[in-house]
């Protein structure tokens, strides 16, 4: 036998072991779909960095198996492209798990694929409640708009605020935020005086600012996907004089994600949000996470909510691999993490067995300077918040 032929056969046999999930050592691939280019490229970077921190801390093997993450770039909300990339990961890369997904439409698009291939999909971000209802293979480690908004609306009502305008991006999570806010705030005695829905791709917010002024509200509740969108909206709020006019600014913490705070500057000061993670969350585990991140990447400037979505998502995937002994069985893998609880850099987490979404502490925060840097400083904590939007209206 020639050396080349023998190597080719060995290669093929080895390849078989990799995909068959045999008792021997295998490589289990996890496909991660996220923006790595374009305006939301920071998201992919935060996912990848957090996964690398997790693997540096926990190793790259589970039992006999090596866990390898494979990344695909999806620069925007594009469900057809999301489906094509995910299919390629399943068919060509033979991934055993799918993960990532920043935008709701991109996560929703893979439901038929994960059902058919019996593959778990661990969502690191996409935050519309209905997603996990579309397939029993979804597990989510981020947050939902309902989860952040219910405690925020209750808090605002308790502060004596009576009239609010909601301003949201006109798609899944925005509509969830608007619905959750209106229902909760009005139940608690407030009035939503206008509901503004802005196209997902808006970048000129001046007309919306005029509408907010005209509504005569004391405060706004705003949701847009974190990134250039939130940055432009928050700057516009300040530049168009709404901040100076004393209108108070509230929303889920997407609007004050840490990497954007230096660019927002004074416009960020005083914005009050509810969210699942602040970079300055005071816990030993968060300090260890930040220290490892700094050691590996030189700074913690990119660390934000998408970092912990991926870090905890990697943890869930590792547990699924462990619980199934490395065998490819999506139904069993998902079943095995229902009810799982663990400590995260953001606080305690539990996977709700019904919604397959994390129950977690939601923090009330205000942007303030800390050691010369703007941060989301936690002011109150609301423990054990579920996804209030799961099966609402069903
Ligand atoms: C979503 O599309 O679900 C989404 C995107 C960005 C966010 C939050 C939710 O910051």
User: What are the tens digits of pLDDT across the range 346-390?
Assistant: 999 999 999 999 999 999 999 999 999 999 999 999 999 999 999
Cα 144 to ligand 1 centre (Å): 9
User: What are the tens digits of pLDDT across the range 61-86?
Assistant: 999 999 999 999 999 999 999 999 99
CB atoms within 10 A of CB 45: 18
Question: Atom 7 of ligand 1 has which residue's CA nearest to it?
Answer: 225
Nearest atom in ligand 1 to the alpha carbon of residue 257 is: 10
pLDDT at 7: 39
DSSP-assigned letter for residue 344: E
pLDDT at 21: 44
The span from the CA of 163 to the CA of 193, in Å, is 6
The span from the CA of 148 to the CA of 135, in Å, is 23
Cα 104 to ligand 1 centre (Å): 6
> What does the DSSP assignment read for 121-157?
EEESS---GGGGGS-TTEEE-S--HHHHHHHHHHHHH
Q: Are 252 and 276 in contact (CB under 8 A)?
A: no
Cα 127 to ligand 1 centre (Å): 6
* Mean pLDDT of the residues in the chain: 94
- Return the minimum-mean-pLDDT range out of 14-23, 178-187, 264-273, 314-323: 14-23
Question: Atom 2 of ligand 1 has which residue's CA nearest to it?
Answer: 103
Q: Are 358 and 141 in contact (CB under 8 A)?
A: yes
The span from the CA of 376 to the CA of 277, in Å, is 9
Q: Backbone phi, then psi, for 368, in 5-degree steps?
A: -145, 155
Q: Are 169 and 224 in contact (CB under 8 A)?
A: yes
Residues 6+ apart with CB under 8 A from 149: 176, 177, 180, 181, 184, 221, 252, 274
pLDDT at 23: 56
Inform me whether the pLDDT recorded for 393 exceeds 90: no
Q: Which of 40, 43, 103 to mutate to test the pocket of ligand 1 (most atoms within 8 A of CB)?
A: 103
Nearest atom in ligand 1 to the alpha carbon of residue 105 is: 2
Q: Backbone phi, then psi, for 326, in 5-degree steps?
A: 80, 0
Cα 176 to ligand 1 centre (Å): 11
Cα 174 to ligand 1 centre (Å): 9
Inform me whether the pLDDT recorded for 8 exceeds 50: no
Long-range Cβ contacts of 174-177 (<8 Å, 24+ apart) = 174/145, 174/198, 174/200, 174/223, 174/224, 176/127, 176/128, 176/129, 176/144, 176/145, 176/146, 176/149, 176/389, 177/145, 177/149, 177/221, 177/223, 177/251, 177/252
Instruction: Give CA separation, 176 vs 91, 153, 196, 231, 354, in Å.
Output: 34, 13, 13, 21, 19
pTM for this one?
A: 0.94
Nearest atom in ligand 1 to the alpha carbon of residue 171 is: 2
The span from the CA of 113 to the CA of 134, in Å, is 11
Q: Which of 33, 125, 143, 277 to mutate to test the pocket of ligand 1 (most atoms within 8 A of CB)?
A: 125
Cα 33 to ligand 1 centre (Å): 14
Burial class from Cβ neighbours inside 10 Å (0-12, 13-18, 19+) for residue 212 reads buried
Nearest CA among 114, 120, 140, 118 for reference residue 129? 140
In the chain the domains, ranked by start, together with CATH numbers, are 2-143+282-356 (3.40.50.2300), 146-275+362-385 (3.40.50.2300)
Nearest atom in ligand 1 to the alpha carbon of residue 226 is: 10
Question: Atom 6 of ligand 1 has which residue's CA nearest to it?
Answer: 225
User: What are the tens digits of pLDDT across the range 107-122?
Assistant: 999 999 999 999 999 9
Residues lining ligand 1, CB < 6 A?
102-104, 125-128, 173, 225-226, 254
Cα 76 to ligand 1 centre (Å): 11
Nearest atom in ligand 1 to the alpha carbon of residue 173 is: 3
Which two tokens mark 144? 């939902």
Long-range Cβ contacts of 315-319 (<8 Å, 24+ apart) = 315/54, 315/58, 315/342, 315/344, 316/122, 316/139, 316/141, 316/340, 316/351, 317/30, 317/67, 317/97, 317/99, 317/120, 317/122, 318/54, 318/58, 318/62, 318/67
* Beta strand extents in 262-308 (DSSP E only): 272-275
pLDDT at 90: 98
The span from the CA of 173 to the CA of 197, in Å, is 11
pLDDT at 394: 64
Inform me whether the pLDDT recorded for 9 exceeds 70: no
Cα 213 to ligand 1 centre (Å): 26
Cα 337 to ligand 1 centre (Å): 24
Q: Backbone phi, then psi, for 61, in 5-degree steps?
A: -120, 145
Question: Atom 3 of ligand 1 has which residue's CA nearest to it?
Answer: 126
pLDDT at 20: 44
Q: The tokens 């993960």 sit on which residue? A: 99
Cα 131 to ligand 1 centre (Å): 12
Inform me whether the pLDDT recorded for 11 exceeds 60: no
Question: Atom 8 of ligand 1 has which residue's CA nearest to it?
Answer: 225
> Virtual CA dihedral for 292, 36, 197, 156, nearest 10 degrees?
0
């Amino acid at each position: 036998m020639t050396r080349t032929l023998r190597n080719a056969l060995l290669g093929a046999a080895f390849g078989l072991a990799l995909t068959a999930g045999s008792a021997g050592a295998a490589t289990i691939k996890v496909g991660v779909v996220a923006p790595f280019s374009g305006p939301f490229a920071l998201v992919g970077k935060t996912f990848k960095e957090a996964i690398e921190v997790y693997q540096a801390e926990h190793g790259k093997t589970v039992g006999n198996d090596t866990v390898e993450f494979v990344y695909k770039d999806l620069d925007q909300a594009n469900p057809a492209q999301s489906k094509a990339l995910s299919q390629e990961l399943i068919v060509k890369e033979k991934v055993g798990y799918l993960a990532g997904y920043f935008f709701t439409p991109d996560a929703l698009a893979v439901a038929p694929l994960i059902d058919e291939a019996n593959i778990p999909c661990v969502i690191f971000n996409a935050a519309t409640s209905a997603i996990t209802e579309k397939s029993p293979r979804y597990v989510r480690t981020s947050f939902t708009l309902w989860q952040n908004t219910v405690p925020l609306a209750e808090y605002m009502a308790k502060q004596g605020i009576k009239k609010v305008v909601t301003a949201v991006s006109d798609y899944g999570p925005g509509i969830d935020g608007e619905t959750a806010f209106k229902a909760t705030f009005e139940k608690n005695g407030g009035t939503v005086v206008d509901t503004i829905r802005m196209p997902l791709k808006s970048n000129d917010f001046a007309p919306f600012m005029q509408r907010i002024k005209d509504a005569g509200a004391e405060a706004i509740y705003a949701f847009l996907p974190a990134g250039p969108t939130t940055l432009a909206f928050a700057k516009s709020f300040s530049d168009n004089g709404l901040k100076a006019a004393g209108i108070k600014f509230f929303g889920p913490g997407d609007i004050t994600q840490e990497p954007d705070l230096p660019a927002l500057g004074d416009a960020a000061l005083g914005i009050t949000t509810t969210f699942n993670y602040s970079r300055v969350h005071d816990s030993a585990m968060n300090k260890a996470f930040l220290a490892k991140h700094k050691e590996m990447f030189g700074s913690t400037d990119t660390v934000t909510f998408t970092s912990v979505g991926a870090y905890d998502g990697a943890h869930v995937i590792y547990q699924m691999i462990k619980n199934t002994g490395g065998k490819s069985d999506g139904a069993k893998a998902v079943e095995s993490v229902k009810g799982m609880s663990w400590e995260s850099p953001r606080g305690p987490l539990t996977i709700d067995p019904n919604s397959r979404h994390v129950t977690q502490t939601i923090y009330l925060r205000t942007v303030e300077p800390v050691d010369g840097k703007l941060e989301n400083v936690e002011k109150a904590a609301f423990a054990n918040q579920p996804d209030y939007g799961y099966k609402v209206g069903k």
